[in-house]
Every structure is written in structure tokens, then in C-alpha cells.
Amino acid sequence: MDRKALDRVVYGLVWLACLAPLLWLAWRGFSNDLGANPIDRLIRELGVWGLRLLIIGLAITPAARLLRQPRLIRFRRTVGLFAFAYVLLHLTNYVVTDQWFDWTAIGKDILKRPFITVGMAAFALLVPLAVTSTNWALRKLGPVRWRKLHRLTYLIVPLGVVHYYMLVKADHQPPLIYGAIVAALLGWRVWEWARKRRAAGA
């Protein structure tokens, strides 16, 4: 198989892997397998998959460097866009099935429940990244400004973890584990940045 064909196969597999949780959730929904409170379960599952994909997106650059596989970087945008799609569905589910389009109640929720405020802030910051994910936007902004804007993920992903941590009532272990992974991924970036600065100064 030549390189182009292999690239297409890998790309297809990445798409399939990103879509699989959604298809699995849809299947479980249709077969009444989402427990006693399916709406709540669906919101939670979409949220957790949104967060997982955001973290995977954050892990691609360190993985590409450490494994010496720069071609991995090409999948960052696809994974990021899928993360956005899951979070958008998470939010849509909340608006439609949890709040029944009651915008006053949603507004009150954003102001009164801090975990909703934090989730909404993370979503609001995600929107410009999703909108500028086209090749056209990349050309318009130029690579330097585009990269700077997309550094917002360093804020968005921790906000996603904080949102998760704030809403759990009993078992704080899962959000803490996600938090530790995010801290390690951001820590690696700080270390890389310091290493490059030292090398430039030497």
C-alpha cells in the first residue's frame, strides 16, 4: 500500500474511532439501555466523551514528538472538531431535553450554578476554535495568529475538568484523574517551552 492510501485508511480509522462512542450511545438509546434516567445519562456521556476527545487532542503534539511521528499532528483538527461536536450535542441535550428551551431558566442556571457557568465559559471559548478550523480561516488568520488563538485549548480543557469536578457529588476520583492527565500534558508543554528558550539562549 502506498503512503497516500495508508494515510486515507488511517484517516478513516480516526473518523470511525471518534464516531464510535456516538453510534454506541445512539444504539443504547434505541434499545432502551441508558438506565432509569436516559436523558441525564445521555448528557453525561456526551460531556465525558467531549472531554476525552479534548484531552486526546491535547495529547497529540506530545505523542507526535515523543514517538517521532510528526504525521500524527494532522489528526489534531479532526479530533478537536469531534470534541466540539460532542460538547455541542451535550449542550443541545441540556437545552432541549433538560430545560425544554426555557431560556429564562437556562440564564438563571448559568448565573446560579457555578458548574454550568464554567461549562458555558469552556463552550464559549471552544466556538472560535471550531469556526477557525477550516483551511480558509487558517489562511486568513495566518499560521502565527491561528496558533496563538488555538492555544485557548490550554484554558478550555482545564475548564472542562473543573466543570466535571464541580458537578460530581460523591466520587471525585474520575475528574481528578482527568485533571492529572491534563496537568501532565500542559506540564510537558511548559517543559518544552523552557527547553527551547534555554537552547535559544545558549
User: Binding residues for ligand HEM, per CB under 6 A?
Assistant: 40, 43-44, 47-48, 50-51, 54, 87, 90-91, 94, 116, 119-120, 122-123, 126, 156, 160, 163-164, 167
Spatial distance between the Cα atoms of 61 and 188, rounded to a whole number of angstroms: 10
How far apart, in Å, do the first and last CA atoms of the chain sit?
Answer: 44
Nearest CA to 74 out of 66, 84, 64 is that of 64
Say which residue the cell 469552556 belongs to: 122
Taking the complex as a whole, the smallest distance from the CB of residue 30 to ligand HEM amounts, in Å, to 21
* Nearest distance in Å: CB 116, ligand HEM: 5
Report the residue number, 91 or 185, with the smaller CB distance to ligand HEM. 91
CA dihedral 85, 86, 90, 96 (to 10 degrees): 40
Q: Which is nearer to ligand HEM, 81 or 120 (CB)?
A: 120
CA distances in angstroms from 129 to 7, 24, 97, 149, 173, listed in the order given: 25, 27, 26, 7, 29
The smaller minimum CB distance to ligand HEM, of residues 10 and 120, is found at 120
Of the two residues 10 and 39, which places its CB atom closer to ligand HEM in the complex?
39
Question: Minimum distance from CB of 187 to ligand HEM (Å)?
Answer: 20
Q: At its nearest, how many Å lie between ligand HEM and the CB of residue 53?
A: 9
Instruction: State which residue, 18 or 126, has the beta carbon closest to ligand HEM.
Output: 126
Whole-angstrom distance, CA of residue 117 vs CA of residue 48: 17
Tell me the closest approach of the beta carbon of residue 144 to ligand HEM, in angstroms: 25
Question: Coil, strand or helix: which one is 176?
Answer: helix
